[in-house]
Chains A and B, each alone.
Chain A
Amino acid sequence: DAGITQSPRHKVTETGTPVTLRCHQTENHRYMYWYRQDPGHGLRLIHYSYGVKDTDKGEVSDGYSVSRSKTEDFLLTLESATSSQTSVYFCAISRGGNTGELFFGEGSRLTVL
């Protein structure tokens, strides 16, 4: 979706290094989400944000932190990457209303060696 961009789209890193993924939206929406996708698990919520500096944990938050210093950017940080964090990461926004429909970015493929 053109309103959401993720960077980097692909990254290979080594165990123990820090990694930050960026999600940028151009639509000024309040709610943003980080999911990871793994075979056999579908998409699982890592963290989400409901406004600037307002974030909360999802079901698989261990090993991840997030920050949202401005409405348009939601950062996901792996402080010390592990091989179990090799995954495809998707950012999403909720475009408002009470229906819960999410729109997703193109995904960021992270490989931790």
Chain B
Amino acid sequence: AQKVTQAQTEISVVEKEDVTLDCVYETRDTTYYLFWYKQPPSGELVFLIRRNSFDEQNEISGRYSWNFQKSTSSFNFTITASQVVDSAVYFCALSEAGSNDYKLSFGAGTTVTVRA
């Protein structure tokens, strides 16, 4: 069963617009970790953020912010005032502490294109 769902396949915005990427996860563990990774056109995978299941505080880092809501099993990612350099594929991922092997389950990814 798919543990992480990113329903948006592609999003296209004009520079300076805000863009929100949805991520819905599924797990029976009470302790788990959620991640966002960025994959720019150059292909490498860049870690953006980690959140544990006991910390529902929203987080802001520059133009990036994350909204974690356990009640809806969602961990959404917003880019404020988008820039062309934000064009990338973004992956949401889940790690379940009960598995004890730290492997990540990834969503299918959302391709963000920011047009100048």
Residue positions of A touching B, CB distance < 8 A: 31, 33, 35, 40-45, 48, 50, 56, 58, 88, 90, 94, 98-104, 106-107
Chain B residue nearest to A95 (CB atoms) is B102
Query: Bound complex: CA of A58 vs CA of B9, how far in Å?
Result: 24
Contact assessment for A98 and B97 in the assembled complex, using a CB-CB cutoff below 8 Å: yes
Contact assessment for B103 and A48 in the assembled complex, using a CB-CB cutoff below 8 Å: yes
Chain B, 96-116, CB within 8 A of any chain A CB: 97, 101-109
- Given A43-B45, A43-B93, 19 other A-B contacts at CB below 8 A? A31-B102, A41-B108, A42-B6, A42-B107, A43-B91, A43-B104, A43-B106, A48-B101, A94-B102, A99-B95, A100-B35, A100-B102, A100-B104, A102-B102, A103-B47, A104-B44, A104-B45, A106-B43, A107-B44
Residue positions of B touching A, CB distance < 8 A: 4, 6, 9, 33, 35, 43-45, 47, 50, 52, 91, 93, 95, 97, 101-109
Contact assessment for A99 and B101 in the assembled complex, using a CB-CB cutoff below 8 Å: no
- Chain B residues whose CB sits within 8 angstroms of the CB of A48 once the complex forms: 101, 103
Q: Assuming the A-B contacts A43-B91, A107-B44, are A102 and B104 also in contact, with contact meaning beta carbons closer than 8 angstroms in the complex?
A: yes
Chain A residue nearest to B34 (CB atoms) is A100
Query: Bound complex: CA of A75 vs CA of B50, how far in Å?
Result: 28
Contact assessment for B95 and A100 in the assembled complex, using a CB-CB cutoff below 8 Å: yes
Chain B residue nearest to A106 (CB atoms) is B44
Pairs across A and B, CB under 8 Å, 10 listed: A41-B108, A42-B91, A44-B106, A48-B101, A58-B103, A100-B97, A101-B33, A101-B50, A102-B47, A107-B43
